[in-house]
């Protein structure tokens, strides 16, 4: 009978602990990261073979959780934040292209074209000339404003990325401290485990992570790189920027032979011209004496065996071109002091490298080889070839943003930092900043090209642009120079207002045709053979704006879809781990009843003992 009292007493204690646990669950219902607790109740071991037991024990409280569902939530959270960040960046780009009924680059293009048309009707009108200067200058200015806004969005993204790196390192340190505290106790503290889970979820917003705990050892990986190992060994992550220069190689597919004189016999009065950014140029002529070291004494006379070295000397000694590019006779090797040397015992191939590394050093260059029987006779040109760089063996200037843990690069698959790094790396196909800056550069380059030169071939037909006229083999005096715009990119684009006074009726008639031309090529190779995507100037920019809006809409749709997926996973996870007040109230009633029942047993046993004692 006394054993019954002990059993009932254990039931009272277990019910009391269970009620306290219910109370704690309800109190922490809205605590971030809190997972509901369940009391582990079990029967006390029997001390002998008798059929009745020794009661119940409330041994511990454990958290309700699921590693599988938790990892799913972390993964979907990472993806959601990737799309959030991407949508935000596209929103910044869309804002840069935003227009009103009265303002915007579309209006600037139309006003410029209308100003050309107005001046064509009255070429001597000072009012129309002033109007053209105003709208031509505004067109360049506003194009550069849009470009600058995109660059500002890049700079903000880069600053935000560094802040996010600092946040990630802060979270890793907090997890490390929690692991230290957990390591000091024999049993893991539920509140510390909750806090660590919450920190993992916060971390998953920035990077894709995975964690596991095996044999008491906690490991957390970012991507495939261990960020926390052996519980407390923490690797800070860093972001590193690398810049590589643009390199143009003018060579054949064999990777060794120059492509400049491919199929051309280079002899008397022939010239090779290198033009940079549709503005500055240098030329070498067969038989010209070249002074490579500037000592006043010619080092060699240009012929078919040394024309590459002649071009290298001319480019590197030109005061304008040398600010932007450096020319080499083939692939160079670097000395310990950083100087670059080439094997100059013979011609190799022309290599042009940007003077400044990265996207900022971007340039456009091309070669024109002119075969001519008499340098003084503009009708004696027998062939003209335009030579562009080999696209497969050349490379654009690159800005690369890579995240490291110590010396190990981290390949992220999702998260905020993934979206930011890929949109700051120019070679990434997902870089929307670069995509739309390149489209603006293509517009600027084409505008500069088609307004630089032309050849009239009929009453209303022309060879348009500097690139195409570079291949014109007729009377060279037929080539009409306009030079209204110059440059090969938005940053180098200029409106040459002084040339407005030189616009005669012939030039204005040509410029006016561009307003109606619907097969303008924006591929940077001239207007000879426009591709399938050729269009008008106005329609090209409208298509760019449509693409921006389409990209933003697609991104928002993907974000909306991912939010739904994440919310579904989160709802299932919350149903498992979060406190359900209705469920807890039922538990409260259940454990209260158990407590009352055990108290009743104590009362009954007490009455039985009183009865027995009263038998004396």
pTM to 2 decimal places: 0.88
| pLDDT reported for residue 51 | 60
Which residues fall within 8 angstroms of residue 579, CB to CB, at 6 or more apart? 25, 26, 28, 29, 34, 36
231: confidence class by pLDDT, cuts 50, 70, 90: confident
**What's the pLDDT at 338?**
83
pLDDT in tens, 168-219: 999 999 999 999 888 887 777 889 999 999 999 999 999 999 999 888 889 9
**φ, ψ of residue 398 in degrees (nearest 5):** -125, 140
Phi, psi of 198 (to 5 degrees): -65, -40
CB 93 within 8 A of CB 432: yes
How far apart, in whole angstroms, are the C-alpha atoms of residue 22 and residue 585? 8
Whether the pLDDT of residue 142 is over 90: the answer is yes
Nearest-angstrom CA–CA distance, 370 and 348: 21
Quote the tokens at residue 4. Answer: 């019954």
CB 207 within 8 Å of CB 164 = no
Q: CB atoms < 10 A from the CB of 220, how many?
A: 23
Q: What is the mean pLDDT of the chain?
A: 92
Q: Is the dihedral of CA 407, 410, 416, 421 positive or negative?
A: positive
Structure tokens at 337: 């002091």
Helix (H, G, I), strand (E, B) or coil at 70: helix
Tell me how far apart the alpha carbons of residues 258 and 230 are, in angstroms, rounded to a whole number.
57
Distance of CA 10 to the CA centre of its chain: 64
**pLDDT the model gives residue 50:** 60
- The percentage of the chain sitting over the pLDDT mark of 70, rounded to a whole number, equals 99
Question: Which range (99-103, 368-372, 511-515) has the least confidence?
Answer: 99-103
Whether residue 438 has pLDDT greater than 90:
yes
Instruction: Name the nearest CA neighbour of 312 among 291, 287, 298.
Output: 291
Per the model's pLDDT, the better-predicted residue between 417 and 1 turns out to be 417
CA angle 132, 134, 139 (to 5 degrees): 90
User: Cα dihedral sign for 524, 527, 533, 534?
Assistant: positive
Q: Which of 27-41, 125-139, 203-217 has the highest mean pLDDT?
A: 125-139
Mean pLDDT over 222-227 rounds to 92
Q: What confidence tens digit (pLDDT) does each residue in 40-61 have?
A: 888 888 766 666 677 888 888 8
Contacts of 50 (CB under 8 A, 6+ apart): none
Q: Which two tokens stand for residue 361?
A: 């050093």
Q: In the predicted model, what is the mean pLDDT of residues 605-613? A: 83
CA 302 to chain centre: 46
In whole angstroms, give the CA distance from residue 245 to residue 393: 14
Of the chain, the percentage scoring pLDDT greater than 90 comes to 74
- pLDDT higher than 90, residue 551: yes
Of 390, 388, 367, 358, nearest to 246 (Cα)? 358
Q: Which of 434, 311, 448 is nearest to 367 (CA)?
A: 311
Report whether 279 contacts 486 (CB < 8 A). yes
Mean per-residue pLDDT, 80-101:
95
Average pLDDT over residues 372-384: 87
The pLDDT value recorded for residue 176 is 92
pLDDT of residue 521: 94
**Number of Cα atoms under 13 Å in the Cβ half of residue 38:** 11
In the predicted model, what is the mean pLDDT of residues 254-283?
Answer: 92
Which residue has better confidence, 597 or 48? 597
Q: pLDDT class for 371, splitting at 50, 70, 90?
A: very high
pLDDT tens column, 391-424: 999 999 999 999 998 888 999 999 999 999 999 9
Q: Which residues contact 440 (CB under 8 A, 6 or more apart)?
A: 143, 146, 147, 150, 490, 544
Q: What pLDDT is attached to residue 602?
A: 86
- In the predicted model, what is the mean pLDDT of residues 272-292? 93
């Amino acid at each position: 009978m006394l054993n019954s009292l002990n059993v009932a007493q254990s039931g009272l204690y277990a019910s009391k602990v269970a009620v306290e646990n219910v109370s704690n669950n309800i109190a922490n219902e809205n605590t971030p990261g809190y997972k509901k607790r369940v009391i582990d109740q079990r029967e006390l071991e029997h001390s002998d073979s008798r059929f009745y037991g020794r009661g119940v024990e409330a041994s511990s409280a454990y958290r309700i959780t699921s590693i599988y569902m938790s990892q799913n939530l972390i993964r979907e959270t990472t993806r959601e934040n990737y799309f959030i960040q991407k949508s935000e960046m596209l929103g910044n780009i869309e804002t840069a292209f935003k227009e009103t009924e009265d303002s915007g680059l579309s209006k600037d293009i139309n006003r410029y074209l209308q100003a050309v048309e107005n001046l064509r009707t009255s070429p001597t009108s000072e009012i129309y000339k002033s109007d053209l200067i105003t709208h031509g200058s505004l067109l360049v200015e506003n194009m550069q404003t849009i470009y600058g806004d995109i660059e500002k969005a890049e700079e903000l993204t880069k600053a935000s990325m560094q802040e996010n790196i600092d946040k990630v390192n802060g979270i890793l340190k907090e997890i490390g401290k929690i692991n230290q505290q957990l390591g000091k106790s024999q049993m893991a503290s539920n509140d510390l485990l909750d806090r660590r889970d919450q920190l993992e979820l916060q971390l998953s917003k920035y990077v894709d992570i995975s964690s596991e705990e095996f044999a008491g050892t906690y490991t957390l990986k970012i991507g495939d790189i261990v960020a926390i190992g052996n519980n407390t060994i923490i690797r800070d992550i860093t972001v590193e920027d690398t810049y590589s220069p643009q390199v143009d190689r003018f060579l054949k597919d064999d990777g060794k032979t120059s492509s400049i004189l491919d199929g051309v016999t280079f002899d008397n009065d022939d010239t090779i011209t290198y033009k940079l950014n549709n503005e500055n140029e240098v030329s070498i002529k067969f038989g010209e004496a070249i002074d490579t070291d500037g000592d006043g004494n010619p080092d060699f006379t240009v012929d078919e065996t040394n024309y590459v070295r002649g071009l290298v000397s001319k480019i590197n000694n030109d005061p304008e071109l040398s600010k932007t590019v450096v020319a080499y006779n083939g692939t160079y090797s670097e000395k310990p002091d950083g100087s670059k040397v080439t094997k100059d015992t013979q011609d190799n191939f022309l290599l042009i490298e940007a003077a400044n590394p990265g996207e900022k050093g971007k340039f456009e260059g091309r070669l024109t080889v002119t075969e001519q029987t008499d340098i003084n006779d503009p009708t004696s040109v027998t062939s003209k070839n335009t030579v562009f760089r080999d696209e497969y063996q050349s490379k654009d200037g690159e800005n690369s943003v890579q995240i490291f843990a110590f010396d190990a690069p981290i390949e992220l698959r999702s998260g905020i930092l993934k979206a930011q790094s890929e949109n700051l790396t120019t070679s990434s196909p997902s870089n929307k900043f670069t995509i739309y800056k390149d489209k603006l550069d293509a517009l600027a380059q084409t505008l500069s090209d088609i307004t630089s030169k032309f050849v009239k071939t009929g009453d209303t037909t022309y060879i348009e642009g500097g690139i195409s006229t570079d291949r014109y083999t007729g009377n060279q005096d037929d080539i009409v120079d306009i030079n209204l715009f110059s440059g090969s990119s938005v940053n180098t684009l200029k409106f040459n207002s002084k040339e407005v006074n030189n616009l005669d009726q012939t030039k204005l008639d040509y410029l006016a045709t561009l307003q109606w031309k619907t097969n303008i090529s924006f591929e940077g190779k001239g207007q000879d053979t426009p591709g399938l995507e050729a269009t008008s100037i106005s329609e090209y920019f409208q298509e760019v704006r449509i693409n921006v809006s389409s990209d933003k809409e697609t991104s928002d749709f993907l974000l909306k879809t991912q939010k739904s997926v994440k919310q579904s996973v989160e709802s299932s996870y919350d149903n498992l781990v979060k406190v359900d007040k209705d469920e807890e109230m039922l538990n409260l009633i259940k454990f209260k009843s158990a407590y009352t029942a055990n108290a009743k047993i104590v009362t009954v046993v007490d009455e039985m003992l009183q009865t027995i004692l009263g038998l004396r």
